[in-house]
Structure 1
């Protein structure tokens, strides 16, 4: 079976890039996109929250403003340098063990849709390892059918940014290699990555293998999920 690892991810444009092809400068510009409203509606505010893959703090800041006690984790030191007001941990998610548990653990940005099944398992086991008894894990996954609706040339706007699909190439069973272009008025970046269009049964099976079970789908498109040990 072919494994599509992050070694095949890349990015182009100015500035520093993370190992998986994310532009630090571009991610520092990204606005929050409604994710924290979903989180706040799903769990009581004021609890401890472990944000896995925090990036440059796009969600960290609004989560702090909503009253969560956030600890932000990312493998990019340059990304974490953009975050103020929350303790940060510079480390890969997979294999992380902070020796403590949190009321809420978040795994956003479609990280669960990695095309590397072993990598997905390690991410989810980190979630399970850090959630407190009675707590929950909130996961953002690609909506069902996304790969069937996205096409090269698809374009949408988000604040001052225009996002375009440059290419989308099927490379394996339910696996695609996608190139996305992000245009701002003064500059642009691209990011190329592999992703797996996880069916709901396969997603739930991956959760079960990590010791987690679905407690509820939080959005109509089933892109946000609350799971518990």
Structure 2
């Protein structure tokens, strides 16, 4: 199926695609890593959690198993058909306004590194709009060598190879990233735009949304806990 994607984003392989080039079939097969544990450890027991960009529920389901009450948001109706046990909302993250606040808001999948002008600040504004004043926002950032150590790959159990095949500058500090997902029986690719962020730039965007870093959750600095400023 030919994906209908936004400029700079695309994907190839079997099945349906989302506007940012993600394969629905791919995301139903991707294994989950340590993300649910990291999130659950940073959240109060039984917390109400807003998951922005839930996809096919790869993290949603383990978070539910850990006793969190999850509202799962995605712009893809096809992705949401695979989510079980959570309240689901079909909406664009940037435009979301549920009129309620949550103990925890998550923004994973490196969405904060969006290469599209203005999208990052709108994503973070959504986070602040939906988090309680005494709550927290958990954000997944790119690793320090994400754009520089290329090509690189890792092999996961089940025979899946995830390969960052190319990172190509396209201007104004934005890179086009091409990722390949290779299984013995199927291959998918995804191309998307990503902007590296220094720590200072990241803090500046957080501040513009009314958020501030509370602490770094992982040794590699990829997961960050932010809280409402002031």
Q: If the length of structure 1 is used for normalisation, what is the TM-score? A: 0.94
Indicate if the aligned counterparts of 2:8 and 2:176 stay in contact, CA closer than 8 A: no
Query: Which residue does the alignment assign to 2:127?
Result: 127
Corresponding pairs, count: 223
CA displacement 1:41-93 (0-9 Å, x = unmatched): 21222010000000000000000000000000000000000001011000000
Q: Distance in 1 between matches of 2:164 and 2:135?
A: 37
- Within a 5 Å distance, the mapping from 1:17-32 to structure 2 comes to 17-32=17-32
Query: Which residue does the alignment assign to 2:69?
Result: 69
Whichever structure has more helix as a proportion of its residues is 1
Q: Runs of 5+ in structure 1 lacking a partner? A: none
- Within a 5 Å distance, the mapping from 1:1-229 to structure 2 comes to 6-149=6-149, 151-152=150-151, 154-160=152-158, 161-229=160-228
Indicate if the aligned counterparts of 1:6 and 1:193 stay in contact, CA closer than 8 A: no
SS of the residue corresponding to residue 177 of structure 1 reads strand
Q: Runs of 5+ in structure 2 lacking a partner? A: none
Moved more, 62-71 or 27-36: 27-36
Q: Distance in 2 between matches of 1:206 and 1:117?
A: 13
Q: If the length of structure 2 is used for normalisation, what is the TM-score? A: 0.94
CA displacement 1:202-222 (0-9 Å, x = unmatched): 011000000101001111111
